[in-house]
Amino acid sequence: MTEPVETHLKDYKRPDFNVETVELHADIFETETFVTASLGVRKSPEAADGVSLLLDGRELDLVSIELDGRVLTDGEYTLEGEVLTLPAAPDAFVLTTKVKIHPETNTSLEGLYFADGTFLTQCEAEGFRRITFFPDRPDVMGSYRCTVSADKGTYPVLLANGNLVDEGELSGGRHFATWEDPHKKPSYLFAMVAGDLACREDTFTTASGREVALKFYVDHQDADKCGHAIESLKKSMAWDEKTFGLEYDLDTYMVVATHSFNAGAMENKGLNVFNSKYVLAKPETATDMDFQGIEGVIGHEYFHNWTGNRVTLCNWFQLSLKEGLTVFRDQEFSSDMGSRAVKRIADVRGLRASQFAEDAGPMAHPIRPESYIEMNNFYTATVYNKGAEVIRMIHTFLGPEGFRKGMDLYVARHDGSAVACEDFIAAMEDASGVDLSRFRLWYSQAGTPKVTVTRAFDAETSRYTLTFSQKVPDTPGQANKKAMQIPVRMGLLGDDGAPVSLTLEGETSLGPLERVLSLSSDLESFTFTGVEKEPVPSLFRGFSAPINQVTDLTEAELIFLMAHDTDSFNRWDAAQQLYANTILGMVAELKKGEPLALSTDLVAAVQTTLTHPTLDKALIAQALTLPSETELGDRMAEIDVDGIHAAREFVADTLAVALKESWRSVYEACKEVGPYRPDTQSMAKRRLKGLCLSYLSRVESPAFVMDAFASAANMTDELAALTVLVGMDSPESDEAMDRFYGAWKGDTLVLDKWFTAQALSNRPGTLERVASLMEHPDFDIKNPNKVRALIGAFCQANPWHFHRLDGKGYDLLADTVIALNTINPSIAARMASGFNRWKRYDEKRQGLMKARLERIKGTENLANGVFEIVSKALA
């Protein structure tokens, strides 16, 4: 076996040859597929004399190869490993190859594959090389014309990117369709589909008056579940016109839904392919979260049409250029469609849970990584979500108008080309006049900066000083980092809760009530004048930077902020800090064998929030949701799995008992009448109702929750009740699981929820239950949604059971990784990262996890991606 090779950003060179035209013929049969590709190749004027053309190819069976119509003999090309070389290629020529591939047995879900009766493609990042020989890199851009042929009866729908230009019958019951994409694109945006799918259609008229046909292709049985996705697409199209002046550029926008997909969705030009989870929804089968997820992902893929497709990447190190920016755009879109504060809190919760952990582990990398072994491993929370935070900070420094000017300039300068993160930053600087030189460190330095804040009040001179010290932690391969430029959106609250004017020392006029401070060195102070009484600081409002804030705010001050901060996000964050301090304090007390007691002030604060007459109900629900066990663990030097579980349960039980009447009355008040609607207010009510139910389940009988389950009229309520019931050690629990299964056994997406609910249960024996569910006829290890729903949920979100001291949780994960290694290497690698934090646990658990990592590493034919994850974890 050859050691996997690492690819480095510093070695990047522009391509010697471009492929200007691609003419593809894919002839699909049940047991094999033939792909003929004619590539119009042109040598770059900068290329050296006599350079060879290199084409990537993976698992391709070469049938024939011709140059300008002449068959090449063995000596005229070489095929070694995954590279086909044409030595000393001419300046301009047509290269035609014919290959045989096997989509029908391709379980990697990359390249062309067959799943649930449909042939479809996934090319990002490096899947096109599984379809034909090609310089499979994003800086090679050409025009594509693609003809797909297949049996007409079995695969009546034949699609590819762009416009349908020809179709017709062939002999033997077959037919074909030819598609032409007028826009140049990199190979990773190529797509084709052959299947028997229903088509739901609608139209959108662009700002300039062009009518675009919207076509959603789904399984026939799902044709009634496309409405929300179609509405979301129309909203996305209108939003991008209004917010960024960006219009759609083809006459048709197609979306194909599949149950078998490695990721969420893919932005192929004019032909998105979606995980069905992000398309299909109706009130009986989808939760409010699903409805929101669909809106967000539909928006995300649509927004890629400009940020990713029209302006694309010169190499994969620049992935955040399209992903960070597009996540930022989809977050803004969702904020504008619903509640901005609620969206922000959800995003930050996610960032802290996954990205902060990644940044503190063996895979820590900057948003623009410097090297990779397997590109698929770098579709990370860092590149996506921290990348979006970096864009958001630019937005904060430039303001909305400056940012819009920067976007306009970026698109105008780079439309139709493949560029780098640096080009985006330069456009932002040039359009706004704001200097981002120090800010660029966010692209090259990994690790979550820690910002420690101290405060000093001088009553005599009415001066208030905030001192910030920052430290970017060492990460693998990176030590002694430089201070970052960090925006601090902040305010000061007087003791009546009223905001204080922020006049910086030396300023002559009264300052504003909120401002953005900019940190740019290790240690900095800001002094405000005219402050009569000691205020409470509200810092990093709206999570203005992706940092860990260390403050010495007291319980009383946090409770004060929870009640009075004018920034909704910071009200929520104060509550989270309060809970975390409380629970972690209890973990220490448990260690010492001391009895636990919950502060009455905290209980009163929760009561005030819960029964607040005017607060948004979704914000109330978020403010009363305790940090997860995983998040709490992240805040500990050595994660105490059992202590965290016990302390968190104690706090939840105590709040449930102490506020029983309030949980009950708010629960009743949130009950709705009338049909389900996925609007912001109704969703907020259902969310708070679900939270009340989970607290009530700690004090009420199982029959009470069973009643909620039985009377649920939509999936949001039904699943909220099921999730609570599954954790109750009672016959009702099993009965509910059986009833749910019986009702939904024909709907694979709903069954994913059934698997997840059981994986997240607190009940004893959950691990054994998960293991036996892996044998369930509806479980399928080849289906990534099933793997994520059952095993992913168990290993990532049920730490108390996963980290069992007998090591059986670890065995379950290791066995899964090893099984997936040959079936679907990219999902295997993703699952393997479940061991990444192993060094954060006690010695016993460390030993158990290390042994499993070594077992995986010793597996024969280990995929590069899995190798990369486990070898970095063990390093």
Site for ligand TRP, rule CB under 6 A: 122, 124-125, 262-263, 265-267, 300-301, 323, 376, 379
Alpha helix (H) residue ranges in 598-679: 600-610, 617-623, 629-634, 641-658, 660-669
What type of residue sits at position 782? K
CB of 224 to Zn ion, least distance (A): 28
Please give the structure tokens belonging to residue 867: 């190798």
Q: Which is nearer to Zn ion, 265 or 708 (CB)?
A: 265
Picking from 524, 478, 460, the residue whose alpha carbon sits closest to that of residue 368 is 478
CB of 263 to Zn ion, least distance (A): 9
CB of 741 to ligand TRP, least distance (A): 30
Q: From CA 505, how far away is CA 53, in angstroms rounded? A: 64
Q: Which is nearer to ligand TRP, 383 or 606 (CB)?
A: 383
Contact partner, 868, from ligand TRP, Zn ion, none, Cβ < 5-8 Å per class = none
Contact partner, 352, from Zn ion, ligand TRP, none, Cβ < 5-8 Å per class = none
Considering only residues 459-518, where is the footprint of Zn ion by CB under 5 A? none
Picking from 452, 458, 468, 453, the residue whose alpha carbon sits closest to that of residue 534 is 458
Contact partner, 420, from ligand TRP, Zn ion, none, Cβ < 5-8 Å per class = none
Q: From CA 136, how far away is CA 40, in angstroms rounded? A: 15
CB of 305 to Zn ion, least distance (A): 11
Please give the structure tokens belonging to residue 270: 């004019």
List C-alpha distances in Å: 266 to 248, 256, 314, 562, 838. 17, 10, 19, 40, 32
Contact partner, 376, from ligand TRP, Zn ion, none, Cβ < 5-8 Å per class = ligand TRP
Q: Which is nearer to ligand TRP, 122 or 385 (CB)?
A: 122
Q: Which is nearer to ligand TRP, 89 or 191 (CB)?
A: 191
Backbone angles phi, psi at 362, to 5 degrees: -70, -20
Contact partner, 573, from Zn ion, ligand TRP, none, Cβ < 5-8 Å per class = none
Q: Which is nearer to ligand TRP, 140 or 266 (CB)?
A: 266
Picking from 495, 538, 533, the residue whose alpha carbon sits closest to that of residue 513 is 538
Q: Which is nearer to Zn ion, 23 or 323 (CB)?
A: 323
Q: Which is nearer to ligand TRP, 19 or 827 (CB)?
A: 827
Picking from 717, 691, 496, the residue whose alpha carbon sits closest to that of residue 610 is 691
Contact partner, 379, from ligand TRP, Zn ion, none, Cβ < 5-8 Å per class = ligand TRP
Q: Which is nearer to Zn ion, 313 or 626 (CB)?
A: 313
Q: Which long-range contacts (CB under 8 A, 24 or more apart) does 26-29 make?
A: 26/112, 26/131, 26/146, 26/147, 26/148, 26/149, 26/192, 27/149, 27/150, 28/103, 28/119, 28/148, 28/149, 28/150, 28/155, 28/194, 29/150, 29/151
Contact partner, 265, from Zn ion, ligand TRP, none, Cβ < 5-8 Å per class = ligand TRP
- Tell me how crowded residue 83 is: count the other CB atoms within 10 A of its CB: 14
Cβ–Cβ under 8 Å, residues 135 and 186: no
What type of residue sits at position 78? T
Q: Which residue has the tokens 């006459």?
A: 251
Is there a catalytic annotation at residue 301?
yes
Q: Which is nearer to ligand TRP, 86 or 314 (CB)?
A: 314
In the DSSP assignment, the letter for residue 348 is H
CB of 181 to ligand TRP, least distance (A): 17
In the DSSP assignment, the letter for residue 474 is P
Q: Which span sits near Zn ion by CB under 5 A: 212-220, 316-324, 427-435, 597-605?
A: 316-324
Picking from 521, 436, 517, the residue whose alpha carbon sits closest to that of residue 470 is 521
Contact partner, 295, from Zn ion, ligand TRP, none, Cβ < 5-8 Å per class = none
In the DSSP assignment, the letter for residue 370 is S
Q: From CA 266, how far away is CA 191, in angstroms rounded? A: 10
Secondary structure percentages of the chain, helix, strand, coil, to 5: 45, 20, 35
Cβ–Cβ under 8 Å, residues 65 and 86: no
Residue nearest to ligand TRP (CB): 263
CB of 327 to ligand TRP, least distance (A): 8
Contact partner, 377, from Zn ion, ligand TRP, none, Cβ < 5-8 Å per class = none
Contact partner, 263, from Zn ion, ligand TRP, none, Cβ < 5-8 Å per class = ligand TRP
Cβ–Cβ under 8 Å, residues 131 and 101: yes
CB of 122 to ligand TRP, least distance (A): 5
Q: From CA 612, how far away is CA 624, in angstroms rounded? A: 12
Q: From CA 801, how far away is CA 810, in angstroms rounded? A: 10
CB of 618 to ligand TRP, least distance (A): 26
Considering only residues 317-356, where is the footprint of Zn ion by CB under 5 A? 323, 326
* Catalytic pick among 110, 301, 718, 868: 301
Q: Which is nearer to ligand TRP, 300 or 386 (CB)?
A: 300
Cβ–Cβ under 8 Å, residues 873 and 362: yes
Q: Which is nearer to Zn ion, 330 or 634 (CB)?
A: 330
Q: Which is nearer to ligand TRP, 301 or 358 (CB)?
A: 301
List C-alpha distances in Å: 828 to 253, 804, 862. 32, 22, 10
Contact partner, 354, from Zn ion, ligand TRP, none, Cβ < 5-8 Å per class = none
Strand order in the sheet with 198-205: 198-205, 211-218, 252-258, 271-275, 265-266
Q: From CA 295, how far away is CA 276, in angstroms rounded? A: 13
CB of 375 to ligand TRP, least distance (A): 8
CB of 278 to Zn ion, least distance (A): 12
Give CA 207 to chain center in angstroms: 30
Which residues partner with 160 through β-bridges?
Answer: 192
Q: Which is nearer to ligand TRP, 266 or 708 (CB)?
A: 266
CB of 395 to Zn ion, least distance (A): 18
Angle, CA 429 vertex, CA 423 and CA 432 arms, to 5°: 135
Considering only residues 789-848, where is the footprint of Zn ion by CB under 5 A? none
Which residues partner with 37 through β-bridges?
Answer: 24, 97
Contact partner, 285, from ligand TRP, Zn ion, none, Cβ < 5-8 Å per class = none
CB of 316 to ligand TRP, least distance (A): 10
Angle, CA 626 vertex, CA 621 and CA 627 arms, to 5°: 120
CB of 28 to ligand TRP, least distance (A): 21
Contact partner, 359, from Zn ion, ligand TRP, none, Cβ < 5-8 Å per class = none
Chain contacts with Zn ion (rule: CB under 5 A)? 323, 326
Q: Which residues are catalytic?
A: 301
